[in-house]
Amino acid sequence: MFETTALNRRNERVQHAFRLLFGLMTVVLIVPVVLILGVLIWKGGPALSIDFLFTDPRNGMTEGGILPALIGTVWLVTVALLASVPVGVAAALYLSEYASDNWLTRIINLAIINLAGVPSIVHALFGLGAFVLFFGFGTSILSASLTLAVMTLPVVIVSTRESLQAVPLAFREACWNMGATRWQTIRRVVLPNSVSGILTGVILEVSRTAGETAPIMFTGAAFFLPFLPQSVFDQTMAMSLHLFVVSTQVPDVPEHLPYGVALTLIGMVLVMNAASIAFRTYLRQRRKW
């Protein structure tokens, strides 16, 4: 009947070799993640407590908790999202659903991609010039959040546009043929079927925003503030900057403190990612094609 030829055997060996190679690469990918989490939990775990999360830093930040930084990061992320999500989603809707494919659209797309590639320290200087000085918001949550928003905007636009374009064109044409306007089509068919992707993109942006340090350094994050921000015009502490400060700027910090800060920060991000995955799974179950 069938004999395995030399070629068959060779194909099989090659197939195994590649499988092994790709598998090894995947393991290599996991190693740093496991190491980072392991070290953080091992060294920072003992620092974590309810007290640590909900008290102010004391004694030149060598003791006490991280409450102002935690609250500050929540402020920064929230205000940044309020600014970037409406603008980003609206821009993505325009580019995906309304704009015709001409040179202007192509230039805008190119600009968005380039904006995504701008280093965050450049965004920081832009924020300093534009929001702090020109608009006169001072160093404040508002300035810092707007800087973060500008920085994350391209990613929101790109991820939203991709979710929108994942909705089959046939759905749109079916709607248009019924006499639906562009907006009716978007509202009834396109958005309901892309909202899970859009939200996933947004939530992933949250975790990135929470970790950024450079853009907020000059624009609104403070080294040390003994009080919580009362409005968007106050300065604030932030987790990411606080980590930088207690790691490098303050003498005699016990070792567990920066690890505790880092663990809390990464914990926040992981919780948000987990929430995004859970939410996406929930929406996918209702997904419809």
Partner 1 sequence: MPADDTPDGTALDTPVDTLVSVEGLGIRYGSEWALRDVTLDIRRHEIFGIIGPANAGKTSFLRALNRMDEFTPSMHIEGSVVFGGRDVSSWRNVYALRRRIGVVFPLPVGLPLSVYDNVALAPRLAGVRHKDDLDEIVERCLRRAALWDEVRDRLDSLGSLLSGGQQQRLTIARALSQDPELLLLDEFSIAVDPVTTMRIEDVLKELREEITIVLVTNLVQQARRLADRTAFFLSGECVELAPTEQLFSGEVRDRRTTDYVEGRFG
Q: Does 289 bind partner 1 (CB under 8 A)?
A: yes
Among 96, 147, 163, 193, binds partner 1 (CB under 8 A): 193
Tokens 């992707």 sit at which residue? Answer: 197
Q: Does 106 bind partner 1 (CB under 8 A)?
A: no
Q: How far is the CB of 104 from partner 1 (least distance, A)?
A: 14
Q: Mask 138-177, x = binds partner 1 (CB under 8 A)? A: --------------------------------xxxxxxxx
Q: Does 231 bind partner 1 (CB under 8 A)?
A: no
Among 8, 184, 249, 281, binds partner 1 (CB under 8 A): 184
Q: How far is the CB of 183 from partner 1 (least distance, A)?
A: 11
**Residue closer to partner 1 (CB basis): 173 or 255:** 173
Are the C-beta atoms of 137 and 143 separated by less than 8 Å? Answer: yes
Among 32, 179, 226, 251, binds partner 1 (CB under 8 A): 179
**Residue closer to partner 1 (CB basis): 179 or 251:** 179
| Contacts with 82 (C-beta within 8 Å, 6 or more apart), sequence order | 145
**Residue closer to partner 1 (CB basis): 11 or 181:** 181
CA pair distance 211, 272, nearest whole angstrom: 12
Among 4, 30, 59, 101, binds partner 1 (CB under 8 A): 101
Residues that bind partner 1 (CB under 8 A): 100-101, 170-181, 184, 188-189, 192-193, 287-289
